[in-house]
Structure 1
Amino acid sequence: MISRTGAAAAVVVLAVTATACTGGSEDKATIAIGIKFDQPGLALKTPDGKYTGFDVDVATYVAKELGYKPDQIKFTEVTSSDREVMIQYGYVDFVVASYSINDKRKAKVDFAGPYFLAHQDLLIRTGDKSITKAEDVNEKTLCSVTGSTSAQNVKDKLAPKANLMELDGYSECLDALEDTRLDALTTDNSILAGYAAQEEHRGKFQLAGLSLSDEHYGIGLEKGDKELQTDINTALKKMVADGSWKKFVQANFGAAHYRNEPAPEITEGS
């Protein structure tokens, strides 16, 4: 299962690099899983080198069901803009990174799941009463990360006169929101809740409480790998059935008083 290079076979240099990343096709001792490193509540790499968050818990559970212990997992950082590339060229075996399933992405990769349902929302400064609906960001500066569909969704469909700022990560957007260089940060409410719940941010920001879209998080994998897709779906179903999914949600979002949706029905691969 390791080093699923797929399309990389035609690109020798990338294929060699991919093999080095995952340990080689003969090495079954480790599994490479792509996650975000900077999303508190979902996936965060702490200063001591540990990984925490809902996506981390889901990835670890799935890996266990595939036969891998925690110390056999190699977490690899992915960003919103490079998730498909990381999968296509075999840098990771699969991606668990607040990865919303949509047709554009499914043209390049396959998904297992979904395993979580989030809704797009806006994060604003606490006490800002000028933004109560998406249309209120017209003529204001709106931030999201490069490769994310959230900001463009608002600009295209809800507030066409918004000034769009795209930065490399949500942390950069948050810094700009705090020092008033922008007026709102938009992405999934699960991500926003994680940031707002951080100790250093508590009291500074609040969710607008909007449901601007439905975001079904899936686990991305190499296109055409039906065996892995089936195995991951089986693991996800077991995770819900044995109560682990609910435990992971409470452990990672409880402090933010996040109102999560029930575990979604698994539809990919059916």
Structure 2
Amino acid sequence: MKLHKASVAIATGLTLSLALTACGGSGSGGGDDKITIGIKFDQPGVGLKTSDGKFTGFDVDIATYIAKELGYEAKDIEWKQAPSADRETLIRNGDVKFVAASYTINDKRKAQVSFAGPYLMAHQDLLVRAGETAITKAEDLNDKKLCSVAGSTSAQNVKDKLAPKADLQQAGGYSECLTGLENKTYDALTTDNSILAGYAAQKEHQGKFKLVGLSLSDEPYGIGLKKGDTELQGKINKALEKMQKDGSWEKFVKANFGPANYKNDPAPAIAETS
């Protein structure tokens, strides 16, 4: 009798274990039925969580395409906010499968994570009011009020190297800079041209602002993933190459940045392969 009870208990345990295994579960970094992807939630045109809970932007389109190539439909994606300061931590901890969040590839970051791509070559630029004619180069910012977000390397680059007499104003977010630019509190806003184009392309901003069209730095955007995961890196690179060939990449650029007359570079060659 005792033996029979023990056998039943073991069988029940095995059944439960198998059932749990079959159920899968997404976990923090995505499982067999879900994938968790890190994006920005506050960059219009790039990565934005709208007031109705939807996700839009170029990085969202790129990530959704990649996910599909990895075997996940849009409904299988769990979006996770990936602020700039948290991107490496999210990847290292396995909280996300990968990050697509205006994530510039550089040596400092490559010491902590791996990248696939790049998938966009952005450049630091200036955003000014639509009728502005006095600012056509970085040096024109001397004695002008330049806005960027607190801690921005873009603004400091202008201040230190290009226009040392610029009156640098640091705001809490780009929306504050944009409001100040519109009401003439500031003369220009600086960051990556993709981010600037994303803001300028929003319906409520169309016709109010323009990009100067400078290339004050090169910002190759890449897909961040766990250090040394060459298998995933290869799969994402293949997805990016397919995206370029089938016209999806160009479609995503025009849809998200087109209204701002954004002059994008051609799709960059895949360089991150190890």
Give 1:135's aligned residue.
Answer: 139
Mapped to 2, the partners of 1:141 and 1:90 lie a distance apart of: 42
Q: CA deviation at 1:231?
A: 1.4
Of residues 80, 85, 92, the one that matches 1:88 is 92
Q: CA deviation at 1:194?
A: 1.8
Of residues 225, 228, 242, the one that matches 2:246 is 242
Give 1:215's aligned residue.
Answer: 219
Contact 2:69 2:239 (8 Å CA) reproduced:
yes
Contact 1:119 1:214 (8 Å CA) reproduced:
yes
Contact 1:122 1:208 (8 Å CA) reproduced:
yes
Of residues 172, 180, 184, the one that matches 1:180 is 184
C-alpha spacing 1:201/1:83, structure 2 compared with 1 (3 Å): same
Mapped to 2, the partners of 1:44 and 1:165 lie a distance apart of: 25
Contact 1:94 1:221 (8 Å CA) reproduced:
yes
What are the superposed Cα offsets for residues 76-120 of structure 1, whole Å, 9 maximum, x if unpaired? 122233222222233322111111111222222221100111221
Q: How does 1:61-140 map to 2 (within 5 A)?
A: 61-140=65-144
Give 1:16's aligned residue.
Answer: none
SS in 1 for 2:90: helix
Instruction: Letter of the 2:70 partner, please give it.
Output: L
Of residues 192, 200, 205, the one that matches 1:196 is 200
1:164 aligned to 2:150?
Answer: no
Contact 1:32 1:93 (8 Å CA) reproduced:
yes
Of residues 32, 44, 47, the one that matches 1:40 is 44
When the two structures are superposed, what TM-score results if normalisation uses the length of structure 2? Answer: 0.83
Q: CA deviation at 1:268?
A: 0.6
Contact 1:80 1:145 (8 Å CA) reproduced:
no
Structure 2 unmatched runs, 5+: 1-25
Mapped to 1, the partners of 2:87 and 2:173 lie a distance apart of: 14
Q: CA deviation at 1:62?
A: 0.5
SS in 1 for 2:224: strand
C-alpha spacing 1:204/1:91, structure 2 compared with 1 (3 Å): same
1:265 aligned to 2:269?
Answer: yes
Instruction: Letter of the 2:182 partner, please give it.
Output: E
Structure 1 unmatched runs, 5+: 1-21
Instruction: Letter of the 1:205 partner, please give it.
Output: F
Contact 2:177 2:189 (8 Å CA) reproduced:
yes
Give 2:232's aligned residue.
Answer: 228
Contact 2:104 2:219 (8 Å CA) reproduced:
yes
C-alpha spacing 1:163/1:103, structure 2 compared with 1 (3 Å): farther
Mapped to 1, the partners of 2:72 and 2:199 lie a distance apart of: 30
Q: CA deviation at 1:73?
A: 0.5
What are the superposed Cα offsets for residues 43-100 of structure 1, whole Å, 9 maximum, x if unpaired? 2222221112211111001011111111110111222332222222333221111111
Segment of structure 1 superposing worse, 245-254 or 52-61: 245-254
SS in 1 for 2:204: coil
C-alpha spacing 1:200/1:249, structure 2 compared with 1 (3 Å): same
When the two structures are superposed, what TM-score results if normalisation uses the length of structure 1? Answer: 0.84
Mapped to 1, the partners of 2:143 and 2:59 lie a distance apart of: 35
Segment of structure 1 superposing worse, 85-94 or 235-244: 85-94
Contact 1:143 1:167 (8 Å CA) reproduced:
yes
Give 2:154's aligned residue.
Answer: 150
What are the superposed Cα offsets for residues 17-59 of structure 1, whole Å, 9 maximum, x if unpaired? xxxxx62578322111111122222222222211122111110
Structure with the greater alpha carbon radius of gyration: 2
SS in 1 for 2:225: strand
Mapped to 1, the partners of 2:210 and 2:31 lie a distance apart of: 46
Give 1:15's aligned residue.
Answer: none
Give 1:5's aligned residue.
Answer: none
Give 1:54's aligned residue.
Answer: 58
Of residues 194, 202, 209, the one that matches 1:205 is 209
CA-based RMSD of the aligned residues comes to 2.1
